[in-house]
Structure 1
């Protein structure tokens, strides 16, 4: 079987965003996904610059997977430099950045480069595995054992990135690796617009279904949209040596922001004068963005961990106060309810005599809600069967006075000859 990688790329703006800050590329050997950040003014520019630069490594001959791995790493470093230069010339883009996940096939191997929280998955013989690790704050918390993966999925800082390409770091740390691949493997690259809103079980199910790479990519994007998908969604599928591959060669596909001309103010950089540059040097620290925040300093991580601990303490305090209030409400309700029961009276049997009870006939578990208020001299056996039956079933009274009146009536209806 001829070695061939059949790929497809799909990108959607999502249901909330006004522009697509994702970019993707599916070529002959190279597959890349990038998720830009920096707001409306910079995210799309960052991902487009990165993907267009990295796409230059496609259709090149690599003598070994190690050569391809080095080429990918070099392309990401070059893209990072391009982003920094663009920010220098256009300071209105300060703080823009992008995640990148990319792979190149060389024979039976895949060279991989990754930074950020976009992901690469591999489906092999029915088993789905996540190949890349997220460079996020919550992933560090998971790796250090501070929180569980389930807690990470709903953590308020789950969109905080610790590593990206951009003007944040002149020498970003990029993860690279080489993995084997085999006929029948299905690789998937995606932005967090998919992985944050579709469960891994559902991703596994869709990727395992039949269909071409384009059909599978479409189904995954649709699944994200069906789950609300407020973020941009980009999915790339690459099938290894598929048996039903078409005879015609593949055409490289670019999607998302990289598929359109870059749009930003070309005059903004020229308006920057040397005095203003000296007084206000271009920032290279982390800045807040629409859904991401980048940083790579230990003190920032410590600050976020401290914030997380404070948040957990506040959450525990809130739960403690809430539980205490619920318990207090239950106790007050119980006290008021018991006090009400003590305003009620009824006539019943105590041993073999008629008695007036205070309270109600019910019990709470082993605790009775009534007690004998006063015993009488009326023997139950001296009552006619009708009255005897009523007393044994208890007779409700409107008040203590009414209860005494009931007893007086019973005394008037004693059996002849009784009470003597």
Structure 2
């Protein structure tokens, strides 16, 4: 059965890169995002080849199992084609692409995924990331060594553990089947969007109920406002819903929309900005498959970063404790410059400090027992002493004591 719903696809070079290595496809039953890698020409070719091969699957399938098998075979065929292309064009060696594809079969979504492009599902006000990034930092997150928030800014966040490239004729691809329902909104995107826009802002854009095309435009605007250091490709698929059913020709965006042969343009000089300091790095290849030795070095480097982070926390904690201790010492020393007049069991006493205490610790000590009996004082002065009388200094306290002594003598 032909999918009943609406869709849109959009792709943009971004604010830093000199060409668009992403490709996107929105058809009748098939929806794909492919993020190319491997230089200014290789990434274009890889993502374009992936879209061209997968586009053959844009047809109704009789079962989800048939669609899942077709996705696996088509992605494997793409890997073979990449290898053969590099054999004919050695200058393209090292090219590859991510692939995140979705085929609608009746009330199910059949998904295939490799790399760090993503598929999200927005359902009943909740945004869920459906695919798992095949990246080095995702392994660190999965093992509990860093948090998802730390992964967003990790210096190795773009190192891919799995990719559709020209080295592996049998790539490991995640495939699975999910039930879908009217009102679902699916988002397929390259990391040019997910690496800039967090889930909260993505969900807010998807929640506004705009048509897929306007929603894609809004998400792209957010990515550009955030600096867009990489190509941005967005495919939105609405299941049912209020917007017109998609019936036209497929929408192909990015490098796959202009398959005019392989050109190798010169890279523009990198430019950095104080507003977006990561732009310089964005002109460098951001995706590659590391070999085992490199991965070991990355793991060791991350361990060193974790140790430095722990040491930093410990040093910071010690410094905070030292600052608190110093503040308490300064405060305590100040209290010891204060005096007040009070009473013990039966006499007037000059105390050094203040009348307060910290828990069980008093902030005053007896300085001098004056020998003036409380019983010798008039009732009002006796009550005043028992409530304590503050003094600005020791000499002020001595003046108050002399006045009390005179009163005690007059009373007698």
TM-score band w.r.t. shorter chain:
0.7 to 0.9
SS at match of 2:83: helix
Query: Equivalents in 1 of 2:96, 2:228: separation in Å?
Result: 21
Question: Which of the residues 68, 78, 83 maps onto 2:70?
Answer: 68
Q: 8 Å contact 1:213–1:238 — kept in the other structure? A: yes
Question: Is 1:9 paired with 2:3?
Answer: no
Residue 88 of structure 1: aligned partner: 90
Query: Equivalents in 1 of 2:340, 2:89: separation in Å?
Result: 87
Offset of 1:380 from its aligned partner?
2.4
Q: 8 Å contact 2:23–2:48 — kept in the other structure? A: no
Q: 8 Å contact 2:159–2:290 — kept in the other structure? A: no
Q: 8 Å contact 1:28–1:58 — kept in the other structure? A: no
Query: Equivalents in 1 of 2:173, 2:396: separation in Å?
Result: 88
Offset of 1:315 from its aligned partner?
1.0
Offset of 1:13 from its aligned partner?
4.0
Residue 134 of structure 1: aligned partner: 133
Structure 2 portions without partners, runs of 5+:
268-280
Any idea what the Cα deviations from partners look like across 1:95-131, whole Å, max 9, x if unmatched? 5543222344567776644321112345678886544
- Answer with 377-386 or 321-330: which moved more: 377-386
Offset of 1:375 from its aligned partner?
0.6
- The structure-2 alpha-carbon separation of the partners of 1:378 and 1:138, relative to structure 1 and needing over 3 Å to count, comes to same
Query: Equivalents in 1 of 2:265, 2:342: separation in Å?
Result: 96
Query: Equivalents in 1 of 2:2, 2:25: separation in Å?
Result: 23
- The structure-2 alpha-carbon separation of the partners of 1:186 and 1:393, relative to structure 1 and needing over 3 Å to count, comes to closer
Question: Which of the residues 250, 256, 259 maps onto 1:258?
Answer: 256
Q: 8 Å contact 2:5–2:238 — kept in the other structure? A: yes
Query: Equivalents in 1 of 2:101, 2:214: separation in Å?
Result: 21
Residue 117 of structure 2: aligned partner: 118
- Answer with 349-358 or 393-402: which moved more: 393-402
Structure 1 portions without partners, runs of 5+:
269-286
* TM-score of the pair, normalised by structure 1: 0.75
- Answer with 79-88 or 341-350: which moved more: 79-88
Offset of 1:3 from its aligned partner?
5.2
Q: 8 Å contact 2:50–2:78 — kept in the other structure? A: no
- The structure-2 alpha-carbon separation of the partners of 1:331 and 1:368, relative to structure 1 and needing over 3 Å to count, comes to same
Query: Equivalents in 2 of 1:2, 1:401: separation in Å?
Result: 98
Q: 8 Å contact 2:26–2:32 — kept in the other structure? A: yes
* TM-score of the pair, normalised by structure 2: 0.76
Question: Which of the residues 328, 334, 340 maps onto 1:340?
Answer: 334
Query: Equivalents in 1 of 2:138, 2:97: separation in Å?
Result: 18
- The structure-2 alpha-carbon separation of the partners of 1:66 and 1:20, relative to structure 1 and needing over 3 Å to count, comes to closer
The Cα RMSD (Å) is 4.1
1:257-406 alignment to 2 at 5 Å?
A: 257-260=255-258, 264-265=263-264, 290=284, 292-406=286-400
Offset of 1:134 from its aligned partner?
1.5
